[in-house]
Structure 1
């Protein structure tokens, strides 16, 4: 079976490295981006199977990236990562088209892995 490719777009180095190591240990092919523009370009060029997308990024926010990809008919599933407590704006912005969103400070590694498998239809 071909490895599933996951793009991690996260500006915090520690968090990005943590997700990268966790997912690589599970056998996923990992691509990372430290900012929104880089993440959007990688998504369009490499067509990953899933994007873990931080909402608050230094250049372009995650919601804008999501909307830009949708405008180009790129339908890669997205799991938003946020530390923002109020997710109502997020839900409105993505109109139910994102796979999910997770509060970074609350999510356990096992729960993240389970959700990724569900989104990729591996469970």
Structure 2
């Protein structure tokens, strides 16, 4: 009886813009008996998904035309309930949580991707054993932080310490990435390096403070200054920074303590 209720997955919509990966996954899916429909950008993927012909969608999150989050959002708005497994570039808990809040059923991290794992995930969806993980969906009691720092060592060090303290951390490696994550995740606080590629910290700060959404515009921002010059600090505070730290004079413990000030116990 229960088997009759299971939705058999025969056709998979694969939305992926990297040709090599698309070819590998497409061939592996076909080898395992699935019919594959391919889309190479978010807009084309959404158009295919809206037809409701696929039994399951494999959706990359970083795509031209529309990103994966936008695709998920439109599917959710239109009550399209086709199971979606996302292919995440970062694998960060905050990224996964956002995708699942938009209806994604499961995820795979691109850097760790194994074609056999995808087949296993598809079979789990068919069996009904892939369900949203409440632990991933829970926003760590609102303890969310965007950590914008292009120095990989410092970013990783701070990120790990914050996660151990129970924070969900969205890491950004440049100013453009930082601004996008601030707007997308609307964290409780931002740790923002002043000197970054793409868009410097002051410009990110300016864009956030002028955002039309007041909730975003008022997010507390702590600057990380490389030099600690008075003119830089004054500029940051004048642009609306809540606080600042001088890299040369601060420890990771002090950075964490500064962040925790914005989360009253």
TM-score by length of 1: 0.89
Match of 2:111, SS state, is: coil
Structure 1 residues not aligned, in runs of 5+: none
CA drift of 1:104 comes to 1.4
Residue equivalent to 1:69? 75
2:96 aligned residue:
90
* Secondary structure, counterpart of 1:32 in structure 2: strand
Tell whether the 8 Å contact from 1:63 to 1:90 is kept in structure 2 after alignment: no
* Secondary structure at the counterpart of residue 51 of structure 1: strand
1:42 is matched with: 48
- Listed one character per residue, the Cα deviations across residues 29-81 of structure 1 (whole Å, up to 9, x for unaligned) are 10000000000001112431100000000110001101101110100000000
Distance between the aligned counterparts of 1:93 and 1:67, measured in 2? 9
User: Rg larger in 1 or in 2?
Assistant: 2
Q: Helix, strand or coil: the match of 1:79?
A: strand
Query: 1:56 matched to which residue of 2?
Result: 62
| CA shift for structure 1 position 117 | 0.8
Q: How does 1:25-40 map to 2 (within 5 A)?
A: 25-40=31-46
Secondary structure at the residue paired with 2:48? helix
1:23 counterpart residue number: 29
Structure 2 length normalisation: TM-score? 0.43
* Counterpart in the other structure of 2:152: none
Aligned mates of 1:38, 1:68 — CA distance in 2: 13
3-state SS, counterpart of residue 13 of structure 2: strand
2:106 is the counterpart of 1:100: yes
